[in-house]
Structure 1
Amino acid sequence: MVATDEGYVVINDGAEDEARRRIFFLDQRCAVVRTVSFPSRPRDTEDLAIGRDGTIWVADIGDNDRSRPTVALWRLAPGAKQPVLHRMTYPDRPHDAEALLLDTAGRPLIITKGGSGTVFLYAPTGALRPGATTPLAALGQVTVPTTSTSNPFSFLGRGVITGAASAPDGRRVVLRSYADAFEYDVPAGDVVRALTAGTARITPLPDEPQGESITYSRDGRSLLTVSESADQPSGTRPTILRYPATASTVTSAPPPESTGPAAPTAVRRAAEEVGGGGERTWPLAAGAGTLLALLALAGVLGWRHTARR
Structure 2
Amino acid sequence: MSTATDTPVGRGPDAPRTPSADASRRRAPHDGEYSKAEAWRRRLPLMPAFLFVVICTQIPFLLTIWYSLRSWNLLRPEGEKFVGLRNYLDIFVDSTFRTAALNSILITLGCVLVSLVFGLVLALLLDRKFFGRGFIRTLLITPFLIMPVAGAMLWSISMFNPSYGLVNWLISIVGISPVDWTSQLPMLSIIIALVWQWTPFMMLLLLAGLQSQTGDVLEAASMDGAGPWTTFVYITLPHLRFYLELSVLLGAIYVVNTFDQIYLMTAGGPGTASANLPFYIYQRAFLGFDIGQSSAMGVITVIATIIVAMFALRLIFTSINSKEQS
- The TM-score, its normalising length taken from structure 2, stands at 0.20
Larger radius of gyration between Structure 1 and Structure 2: 2
Say which structure, 1 or 2, has more relative contact order (CA 8 Å, 6+ apart). 2
